[in-house]
């Protein structure tokens, strides 16, 4: 009996909650706890392009530039550089042009590294680095070294290595002088030396390099804020090419080494990924400038604090939304999104606005809402014989479909209001977006969506009265290609079919896997398809290029999946593409929007909203859709978290006490039975 009560004592007095999912060494630590649903595809910064991968890569690697954490609109600032790049415009003879020059042959970006930048400790820098092992933990000896300009040059070289297959290789080949030619040579001989190999990249000294880009390309600064341009130690190639390295899964993709605030400690993507504070991280401080609302929201309280403020980042794999949500409510995850299943229990409508439910408010959970710099749209193959084309009739057909597909209704039913209807390709937060924008082909002057009757009239003008061809009488049938990750859920597809049926069009859905879907897009074999685009950088060019004819998916392997080709659009786009954000550029964008609204190569478009939750003990969390290196700014009151976890996860002792009572009763009855039988004997 004493043993039973001793176990009971341990359960009640244990320091960690009984359902704590973490090892004891992570309990009550200055750590950030979160989860990921999909495993990261890459930890190599030259290859990482998806959201999950960037969540890790951006904490490990530092780019030359970064965005100011608090300023909006997004503002670039030096990160690894001592100052912003020195920009010089050149003519075809290499002579310097004035800063207001209209015609620029090349632009030179001079990058100067900060002093005393060092890489995270790694065995590739160790004198005994060539002792091949089969696991990361078997390498006992780590070292480091200073970052030099050769590391930046090597990172650019890796972008065009055939074996790396960087997703931005073709874009950079278009802009960096000499990169395209060097890339062609590499395809014939991947063993070519990388030093002094790219004509547009020149090493000045160990801290300085020049990068030449063709023409005037102000967006290049945004690329310098992405992990693609993070310095990579040039030793990595020889280190990871040792015998049995790749065979044992040891590559830069699994064992990254950067200069960021955090370094990889544990990489088990099926269960847990842990990052730990980089002991060699440079001196960086929490910002002291921001918007007035940042001051009101307490985002400037840590002004001047040394970064990073959290010692360890712990990410657990959660393949389903429900366990993720449950552990967030228990306090074991510091932040969470809101899935559709949890939406009704998490939020409530308060005088036309979204607010947290009473239960979450009582837990001290905080809510933030922001519109992503993204667009999701149903694209039309403009080469299709039925829906494509630029005649008045074809435009009327697409406009009729756009009116019938009530995007506001879709957002309300299936997204819980977590998006806004798109009026143009440019989302909020990007230069050129105008709150007053209304698509006149879909809405009347009061902003009210045009009626189904009007859509039917347009369909009649297009040659399909009552949904049938005016000459042959054949029904109008259209085909939508989709995947389970797009509009592939049955309830959504049923809704779409009903919307088309309102104007007597028959929709046929062709579901397929993602690879086949991509293949159809690349071949121009789809009639309708649903796809999205997240901003690489906060510039309208990063969205408008999706409709540039030079970016045609079938002809140039670009991202213009609709194969849209309007000469007036192309002319305006090329004119404003590399302009600074001036009133003139804004006016040109407004003209361009009107062209797209009339042509309707995209229909049923929306900009998603992000609803984010975090516990009150997580400080300095600000929505940032184009930034990824945000965790170094955040702070955790882990003592408050420990207290709340203990409070919210008290073991339910009554059933235990009932079991103890039953055990005691049975034991006593058994004891009496034994005693009686002994007496009889």
> In this predicted model, what pLDDT tens digit does every residue of 513-553 receive, in sequence order?
888 999 999 999 999 999 999 998 999 999 999 999 999 99
Average pLDDT, the chain: 90
pLDDT classification of 9: cutoffs 50, 70, 90: very low
The pLDDT of residue 319 is 87
Q: What's the predicted TM-score (pTM) here?
A: 0.87
CA contacts within 13 A on the Cβ side of 30: 11
Q: Is the pLDDT of residue 67 over 60?
A: yes
The mean-pLDDT minimum among 50-59, 152-161, 358-367, 499-508 falls in: 358-367
pLDDT at residue 130, as a whole number: 54
Length of the chain: 681
Q: Are 28 and 642 in contact (CB under 8 A)?
A: yes
Whether residue 655 is predicted with pLDDT greater than 80 in this model: the reply is no
Q: Which of 384-398, 593-607, 662-676 has the lowest mean pLDDT?
A: 662-676
Distance (Å) of CA 384 to CA 25, 464, 524: 60, 16, 9
pLDDT score, position 658: 73
- Note the pLDDT of residue 489: 81
Q: What is the mean pLDDT of residues 414-426?
A: 92
Cα 291 to Cα 626: distance, rounded to the nearest angstrom: 18
pLDDT at 74 over 60: yes
Is residue 77 within 8 A of residue 65, CB to CB? The reply is yes
Query: ∠ at Cα 378 (352, 319), nearest 5°?
Result: 75
Ramachandran sector of residue 211 (left: φ over 0; alpha: ψ -120 to 50; beta: rest): beta
Strands (E), 554-649: 602-615, 618-619, 635-636
SS3 at position 250: coil
Mark out the alpha helices in 390-489 (DSSP H runs): 392-404, 407-414, 452-461
At residue 240's C-alpha, the angle toward residues 237 and 242, to 5°, is: 105
Bridge-based pairing state of the strands 419-421 and 477-482: unpaired
Distance from C-alpha of 63 to C-alpha of 99, rounded to nearest angstrom: 26
Higher-confidence position of 672 and 70: 70
> In terms of pLDDT, which residue wins out, 347 or 89?
89
Residue 327, both tokens = 């552990």
pLDDT at 94: 93
Dihedral through CA 391, CA 434, CA 69, CA 156, nearest 10?
Answer: 30
The pLDDT score that the predictor gives to residue 657 is 65
Rounded Cα distance between 474 and 679, Å, is 100
The structure tokens listed for 68 are 């100011």
**pLDDT (tens digit per residue) in 167-196:** 999 999 999 999 999 999 999 988 889 999
Provide, rounded to the nearest whole percent, the portion of the chain with pLDDT above 70.
Answer: 93
Q: Quick one: average pLDDT of 328-347?
A: 86
Query: Residue 272 forms beta bridges with which residues?
Result: 268, 316
Contact of 542 with 536, CB cutoff 8 Å: yes
* Alpha-carbon gap, residue 660 to 119, rounded angstroms: 58
Cβ atoms of residues 227 and 57 within 8 Å: yes
255-272 mean pLDDT: 94
List the helix and strand counts (H, then E) for the chain: 22, 23
In what helix (H) or strand (E) does residue 354 lie, and over which residues does it extend?
A: strand 353-356
Residue 618: phi and psi, rounded to 5, are: -90, 115
Whether 260 and 57 have beta carbons less than 8 Å apart is answered as: no
When pLDDT is averaged across residues 273-298 and rounded to a whole number, the result is 94
**508: number of CA atoms within 13 Å, CB side?**
8
User: What is the reported pLDDT for 244?
Assistant: 78
Count CB atoms within 10 A of the CB of residue 199: 13
Q: How confident is the model at residue 671 (pLDDT cuts 50, 70, 90)?
A: confident
Q: How confident is the model at residue 148 (pLDDT cuts 50, 70, 90)?
A: very high
Report whether pLDDT(315) > 80.
yes
- Can you read off the two tokens belonging to residue 171? 């874009």
Report the distance separating Cα 603 and Cα 592, nearest Å. 16
What's the pLDDT at 216? 93
Would you state the pLDDT for residue 15? 59
Distance in angstroms (rounded) separating the CA atoms of residues 373 and 377: 14
Q: Tell me which H or E stretch contains 342.
A: helix 340-346
- Sheet containing strand 208-214, edge to edge, reads 96-97, 86-90, 106-112, 208-214, 201-205
Look up tokens 């010089």; give the residue: 88
Rounded Cα distance, 555 and 263, in Å: 42
């Amino acid at each position: 009996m004493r043993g039973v009560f001793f176990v009971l004592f341990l359960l009640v007095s244990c320091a960690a909650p009984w359902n704590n999912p973490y090892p004891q060494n992570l309990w009550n630590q200055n750590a950030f706890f979160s989860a990921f649903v999909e495993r990261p595809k890459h930890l190599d910064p030259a290859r990482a392009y998806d959201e999950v991968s960037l969540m890790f890569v951006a904490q490990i690697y530092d780019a030359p530039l970064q965005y100011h954490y608090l300023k909006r609109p997004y503002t670039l600032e030096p990160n690894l550089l001592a100052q912003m790049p020195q920009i010089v415009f050149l003519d075809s003879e290499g002579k310097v042009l004035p800063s207001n020059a209209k015609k620029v042959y090349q632009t030179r970006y001079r990058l100067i590294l900060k002093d005393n930048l060092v890489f995270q400790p790694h065995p590739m820098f160790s004198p005994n680095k060539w002792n091949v092992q089969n696991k990361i933990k078997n390498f006992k000896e780590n070292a480091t070294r200073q970052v030099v300009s050769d590391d930046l040059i090597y990172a650019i070289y890796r972008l065009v290595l055939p074996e790396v297959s960087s997703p931005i290789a073709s874009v950079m080949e278009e802009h960096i002088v000499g990169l395209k030619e060097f890339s062609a040579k590499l395809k014939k001989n991947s063993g070519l030396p990388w030093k002094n190999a790219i004509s547009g990249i020149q090493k000045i000294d160990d801290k300085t390099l020049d990068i030449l880009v063709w023409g005037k390309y102000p967006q290049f600064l945004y690329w310098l804020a992405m992990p693609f341009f993070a310095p990579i130690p040039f030793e990595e190639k020889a280190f990871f090419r040792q015998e049995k390295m790749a065979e044992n899964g040891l590559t830069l993709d699994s064992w990254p080494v950067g200069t960021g605030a955090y370094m990889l400690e544990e990489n088990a993507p099926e269960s847990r990924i842990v990052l730990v504070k980089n002991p060699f991280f440079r001196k960086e401080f929490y910002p002291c400038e921001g918007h007035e609302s940042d001051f009101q929201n307490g985002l400037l309280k840590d002004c001047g604090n040394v970064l990073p403020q959290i010692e360890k980042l712990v990410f657990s794999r959660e393949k389903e939304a429900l366990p993720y949500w449950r552990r967030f409510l228990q306090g074991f995850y510091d932040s969470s999104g809101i899935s559709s299943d949890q939406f009704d229990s998490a939020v409530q409508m308060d005088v036309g606005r979204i607010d947290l439910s009473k239960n979450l408010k009582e837990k001290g959970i905080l809510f933030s809402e922001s519109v992503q710099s993204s667009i999701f749209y149903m694209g039309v193959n403009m080469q299709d014989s039925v829906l494509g084309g630029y005649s008045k009739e074809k435009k009327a057909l697409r406009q009729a479909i756009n009116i019938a597909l009530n995007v506001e209704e879709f957002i309300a039913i299936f997204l819980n209001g977590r998006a806004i209807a798109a009026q143009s390709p440019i989302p909020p937060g990007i230069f050129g977006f105008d709150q007053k924008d209304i698509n006149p082909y879909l809405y009347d002057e009061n902003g009210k969506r045009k009626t189904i009757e009007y859509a039917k009239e347009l369909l009649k003008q297009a040659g399909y009265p009552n949904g049938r061809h005016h000459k042959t009488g054949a029904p109008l049938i259209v085909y939508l290609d989709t995947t389970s990750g797009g509009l592939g859920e049955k309830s959504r597809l049923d809704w779409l079919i009903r919307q088309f049926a309102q104007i007597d069009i028959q929709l046929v859905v062709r579901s397929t896997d993602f690879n086949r879907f991509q293949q159809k897009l690349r071949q121009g074999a789809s009639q309708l398809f649903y796809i999205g685009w997240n901003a690489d950088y906060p510039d309208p060019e990063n969205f408008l290029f999706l409709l540039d004819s030079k970016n045609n998916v079938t002809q140039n392997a670009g991202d213009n999946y609709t194969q849209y080709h309007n000469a007036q659009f192309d002319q305006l786009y090329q004119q404003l593409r590399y302009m600074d954000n001036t009133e003139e550029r804004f006016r040109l964008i407004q003209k361009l929007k009107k062209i797209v609204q009339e042509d309707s190569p995209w229909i049923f478009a929306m900009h998603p909203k992000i609803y984010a939750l975090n516990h009150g003990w997580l400080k300095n969390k600000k929505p940032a859709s184009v930034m990824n290196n945000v965790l170094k700014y955040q702070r955790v009151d882990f003592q408050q978290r420990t207290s709340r976890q203990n409070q919210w996860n008290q073991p339910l002792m009554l059933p235990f006490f009932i079991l103890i009572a039953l055990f005691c009763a049975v034991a006593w009855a058994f004891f009496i039975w034994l005693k009686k039988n002994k007496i009889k004997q």
